[in-house]
Amino acid sequence: MRVRGALLLFGWLLAAASLAAEVRDYPAERVAARTWVIHGPLGDPSVENQGFMNNPAFIVTAAGVVVIDPGSSVQAGRMVLRQIRKITDLPVTHVLNTHVHGDHWFGNQALHEAFPQAQILAHPRMIQEAHGGQAARWLALMDRLTAGFTRDTRPVIPTVPVVEDQQLSIGGVTLRIHAPPKAHSGTDIMIHAVEEDVMFLGDNVMNGRLGGMNDGTFRGNIAACDRALAVPAKTFVPGHGRTAGRDIVTAYRAYLAILFETARAEHDQGKQDYEMKDAIRAKLGRFAGWVGFDLNFGRHISVAVLEIEAM
């Protein structure tokens, strides 16, 4: 009985600690007249960053607040709500998720709890894949990488699909949806806030950081960059890294194109992926200081070679 009582007490303490846990505040930075971005730290989810490392954003419209990618956990979503409340008392009416990777959308839970009538929108394939196992996989991954910090998170999967060329008009703001196929994840949308001159890129573009490519394609991601560059926007919000001008899109496209085209040339000479690394690295020196370069560089070559062999 004593052991059982001690275990019950320990479990209660863990649950209480988890409920009390909060993601530390990150400021919302104004990037356009009605648009704010909360820039998360670079790197992968970890104990140190509490699993928070993407760029949640929000637009304050006349009808309410539109949120893009509210973060990686219920705790991150609550932090995003705290920052919104510093700007406006208007309700959240819409939440858009740029793709299926959970570090961008598990914050839906907090927004749904606070505003259950808010519409949550995403690519139809994102909705399908989240239901098909991606949500569970990402929950387990976030829990492991944060040593249980995100454990109270439950997936609130979007229910409203948005598709290529769809246009949403919300409180005086027009949102145009771009859905490039086979880009970063195969479930991607990019969002052009027309009147704000802002383009939300999701993980089709990162700035100062490199992440995984296993769910997408190099050619598709390069095409997504070209698509973004064709949009007449002034401000570009990457999935990770600082918001800036179109130069961040050009830079990320250059990384993808240099790696892929060099890998193709090396492959045509009969080289294996591990034999290409020196030649490709020599051409990517400007990116060597990006967060995640050493971790992902070799993996990206392997993904590129598989894509080349499937051409």
HSE-up of residue 17 (Cα within 13 Å, Cβ side):
9
Residue-level pLDDT at 8? 43
Burial, 277: exposed, middle or buried (Cβ in 10 Å; 0-12, 13-18, 19+)? Answer: middle
pLDDT in tens, the chain (311 residues): 454 444 444 444 444 444 458 999 999 999 999 999 999 999 999 999 999 999 999 999 999 999 999 999 999 999 999 999 999 999 999 999 999 999 999 999 999 999 999 999 999 999 999 999 999 999 999 999 999 999 999 999 999 999 999 999 999 999 999 999 999 999 999 999 999 999 999 999 999 999 999 999 999 999 999 999 999 999 999 999 999 999 999 999 999 999 999 999 999 999 999 999 999 999 999 999 999 999 999 999 999 999 999 99
Please give the single-letter amino acid code of residue 73: S
Which two three-digit tokens encode residue 193? 């806030």
Handedness of CA 283, 289, 292, 295 (dihedral sign): positive
Provide the β-strand partners of residue 196.
Answer: none
Closest C-alpha to 163, from 122, 224, 200 = 122
C-alpha distance from residue 4 to each of 9, 75, 263 (Å): 9, 30, 59
The two beta strands, 65-68 and 167-170, are: unpaired
| DSSP labels, the chain | -HHHHHHHHHHHHHHHHHHH--PPP--EEEEETTEEEE-PPSSS--TTTTT--S--EEEE-SS-EEEE---SSHHHHHHHHHHHHTT--PPEEEEE--SS-TTTTTTHHHHHHH-TT-EEEE-HHHHHHIIIIIHHHHHHHHHHHTTTTTTT-------EE--TT-EEEETTEEEEEE--TTSSSSS--EEEETTTTEEE-GGGSBSSB----TTS-HHHHHHHHHHHHTS--SEEE-SBS--B-THHHHHHHHHHHHHHHHHHHHHHTT--HHHHHHHHHHH-GGGTTSBTHHHHHHHHHHHHHHHHHT-
Contact yes or no for 55/69 (Cβ under 8 A): yes
- HSE-up (13 A, CA, CB side) for residue 68: 32
Gap between the Cα atoms of 110 and 98, Å rounded: 17
pLDDT at 17: 45
Confidence at residue 21, expressed as pLDDT on a 0 to 100 scale: 81
What are the residues facing 154 on neighbouring strands? none
DSSP secondary structure of 114-144: H-TT-EEEE-HHHHHHIIIIIHHHHHHHHHH
Quote the pLDDT of residue 7: 43
Give the strands of the sheet with 35-38, arranged side by side: 28-32, 35-38, 57-60, 65-68, 92-96, 119-122, 160-161
